[in-house]
Structure 1
Amino acid sequence: MRQLEQLTRRRQAVDVQLDEVGRLIGDLEAELAEEERGVSRLEGGFSAFLAGLTGSREEKLAGEKAKALAVRQRLEGQRTRLEWLNTDRAALEEALAEVGSAPEEFTELLERKERMLVESSDPRGRELAEIAQRLAEVDADLREHEEAHRAGVAAAHAVGQVLRCLGGARGASTWDMLGGGGGIADMMERGHLLNADEAAWHAQHLLDVFARELVDIGVHVSPALPKVDTRWFADMFFDNIVTDAIKHQRIARTGEAVGDVAEWVGGTVNGLAARCGELTRGRDSFVARREDVLTG
C-alpha cells in the first residue's frame, strides 16, 4: 500500500515536470522561429539592403545567427530533458502495474490480523502487532528518506561539476581581461562554457529526479539551473575590454546562481542525513522492544 502511494506521488510529480518542460519547449520554439526570421531578413530583402548600406550587415548577421544558435541549443536541451522524463514516467507506469493489486491485498491482510487479535488471549499478541505496524511505518519512512538522500547526493555532485566548469571559464575570462590571453583565452573560456552547458543539462535531470524523491517525504520543489550562455560572436568583431568585462560579469552571475542551487541542495542533503539518523534510531528502538516482548 505504501509503495503504491509512493509511486502514485512520483507519477504526479513527473507529470508536473512534463507540463513545465512542454511549456518551455513551446516558448523556445516560438523564440527560435523569431530568431530565424531575423536571420532570413538579413540574408535577403530590404533589411539586408539597409544593413549593407551602413556596412554592418555581416556583423548583424553573425549576431543574429549566434542568437538563433543559442536558442536552438536550449531547445535541444529541453527536448532531451523531455525524453528523460518520458522514460522515467514509463518506468513508473510499469512499477504501478506490478503493485496495482496492493490495496486489495492490504485490506485482506488487515482483516486477517484483526481476526487473529480478536481470537488471541495473549496480551503480547496485540503489542507485537502494534510494534510491527510502527516498525513497518518507520522502515518505509527511512527507505524514502534514504532514496531522497541518494538522489540529493547525486544532484549535488552534478551541480558541483557545473560550478567547476564555470570556475574554469571565469579564470580564462579573468586572464583575457588582463590582456594576457587573447585568442587562446577565448578558446579556453568557450570550451569551459560548453562543458558547463553540457554538465548543466545532466545536473538538471538529476535535480528533476531529486525533486520527485522529495515529493515522497512531503517536500514540493522545482529546482532549476540557469542557462549557461555560450555566445561568443561578439569576440569576432568587438573584442575589447568592455566586451570582456560584460562576459566576465555574465559568467560570474551564472556561477552565483548555480552556487545558490548548490547551497540549497547541500543543505537539503544534510537535513535528509540527519533525519535518516533519527529514523534509524527509532527503528532500532522498536526492534529492541520487540525482542524484549518475545524473550520476556
Structure 2
Amino acid sequence: MFEELNKDISTAKEKMRRKEKLQNLLKRTKEELNNQIAKKNELHKILKDEEKDVERLQSLSITGLFYSVLGNKEQQLEKERQEYLGAKLKYEECCSLITTLEKELISYNEELNEYANVHEQYEELMKSKEKLILQGNDLKAKKLMELTEKTSDLKSNIKETKEAINAGERVREAFGKVISSLESAKGWGQWDMLGGGFLATAAKHSKIDEAKNYVHEAQRLLGVFRRELSDVNLSSNIDINVGSFATFADYFFDGLISDWVVQSRINDSLNNVYATSDNVNKLLNVLGRNLNDFERELRGVEEEIRGIIEG
C-alpha cells in the first residue's frame, strides 16, 4: 500500500513540477516576446531612417550635390548602403524571432492544459499519505516515506538539469555550424584578397549568407537554453553573463555586416561567436558537475531505502 501510494505521489509531484516549469516558461517567453516586439518597432524606425539616407544621397538633393562636389558621394553612398543592410538584417532577424516565440507560446499553452487538475490530485494523495502514517505510527514507514519523497525531488532535479544540458548542447552544435561557415568565408576572403577573382568573392558571400541563417537558429536555441537555465540551480562561483545571449545576433551583425568585403569584419564576427560559445561551454561544465552531484546523492538515498527494506 505504501509503495503504491508513494509511486502515485511521485508521479503527481513530477507533473506538478512540470506544470510550474511550463508556467515559468510561458511567463518568460511572453516577456521576451514583448521585448522583441518593442525592439522590432525601434529597428523598423532605424531601417526607415537608413533607407531615407540612401535615397537622399541617390537623388539630386542638396545633400547629394554637396557630396558630389566634394568628390566622395560614392564613398558616402556605400557607407549608407552598408548601414541600411545592417539595419535590414537585424530587423528581419527580430521578425523571425517573434514568429518563433509566438509558436513556442502556443506549444506551452497546449501542454499546460494537460496538467489542469494536477494540484488537486496531489493534495488528495497527500491526505491519504498522512492518514496512513497516523494510523500506522510506524517510524520505519515514516522514514521510508521521507526518503521516497527525497528520491522524487532528486529525480526531478536530474531531469531538469538534463533538459538544460540538452538545450546547451543543441546551442553548441548550432555554433559549430556558424563557425564552420565563417571559417570557410574567412578562407575564401583571404584568397579574394590575393586576387581570387569573382569565384572567391561569390563563395565568400555565399558562406556569409549561410552563417547568417545558422545564426538565427543559434539565437533561437540560446533563448531556449536561457529559459531552461532559470529552472536549475547553478551551484558555481563562475561569473557567466547569460544576459548577453539575448543580444548575440545583434553583435554578430554589427561585426559582420558593417562591411561585407573587409576581411577583419569576418574575424570580428568569428571572435564574437567563439566568445559566446565559450560561455555556453562553461555553463555546460557547471551543469555537468551539478548532474553528477544529484546522481551521486540519489544513489545514496536509494541505498538507504534498500537498507531499511532489507533490514
TM, length-normalised to structure 2:
0.83
Residue from 189, 196, 220 that aligns with 1:181: 196
* Aligned equivalents of 2:124, 2:148: Cα separation in 1: 17
Aligned residue identity for 2:189: S
Partner of 2:20: 5
AA at the equivalent of 1:278: D
> Residues 132-143 of structure 1: matches in 2 within 5 Å?
132-143=148-159
Pair 1:20-2:41 in alignment: no
Q: Is the 8 A contact 2:85 2:257 kept in 1?
A: no
Match of 2:179 among 158, 163, 166: 163
1:208 matched to 2:229? The reply is no
Which of 271, 281, 293 is the equivalent residue of 1:266?
A: 281
> CA–CA distance in 2 between the matches of 1:266 and 1:169?
24
Q: Which runs of 5+ in 1 are unaligned?
A: 236-246
Unpaired runs of at least 5, structure 2: 1-15, 235-240
Kindly indicate whether the alpha-carbon contact (under 8 Å) linking 1:144 and 1:216 is maintained by their aligned counterparts in 2.
yes
- Alpha-carbon contact 2:258-2:265 (below 8 Å) kept: no
Of residues 100, 108, 127, the one that matches 1:84 is 100
Query: Once structures 1 and 2 are overlaid, which stretch shifts more, 80-89 or 218-227?
Result: 218-227
How far apart in 1 are the matches of 2:218 and 2:274? 13
Of 77-86 and 117-126, the range deviating more from structure 2 = 117-126
Question: How far did residue 31 of structure 1 move?
Answer: 0.8
**Which one-letter code corresponds to 1:282 in the other structure?**
E
Q: Do the aligned partners of residues 120 and 278 (structure 1) sit closer, same or farther apart at CA in structure 2, a change above 3 Å counting?
A: same
Residues in 2 aligned to 1:221 and 1:2: alpha-carbon distance in whole angstroms: 24
TM-score using structure 1 length:
0.86
Shift of 1:12: 2.2
Residue 306 of structure 2 is matched in structure 1 by 291
Q: What number of residue pairs does the alignment pair up?
A: 283
Q: Give the one of 227, 236, 242 matched to 2:252.
A: 227
Quick check: 1:191 aligned with 2:212? no
Conservation of the 8 A alpha-carbon contact between 1:193 and 1:230: no
1:251 aligns with 266
Amino acid at match of 2:242: V
Q: Distance in 2 between matches of 1:232 and 1:7?
A: 42
CA distance in 2, matches of 1:249, 1:24: 28
Deviations 1:192-229 (A, max 9, x none): 21111111111010111111111111469331422232
Cα deviation, 1:26-76, whole Å, max 9, x if unaligned, reads 221011010111122234352344455556555554553443233222211
Contact kept in structure 2, 1:170 and 1:189, CA below 8 Å: yes
Deviation at 1:251, TM superposition (A): 1.5
Q: Which moved more, 1:51-60 or 1:38-47?
A: 51-60
How far has the Cα of 1:18 moved from its partner?
A: 1.4
Q: Does structure 2 conserve the Cα–Cα contact (< 8 Å) formed by 1:194 and 1:230? A: no
Give me the CA root mean square deviation.
2.3
Letter in structure 1 aligned against 2:308: V
Local SS of the residue matching 2:21: helix
Identical residues among aligned pairs (%): 24
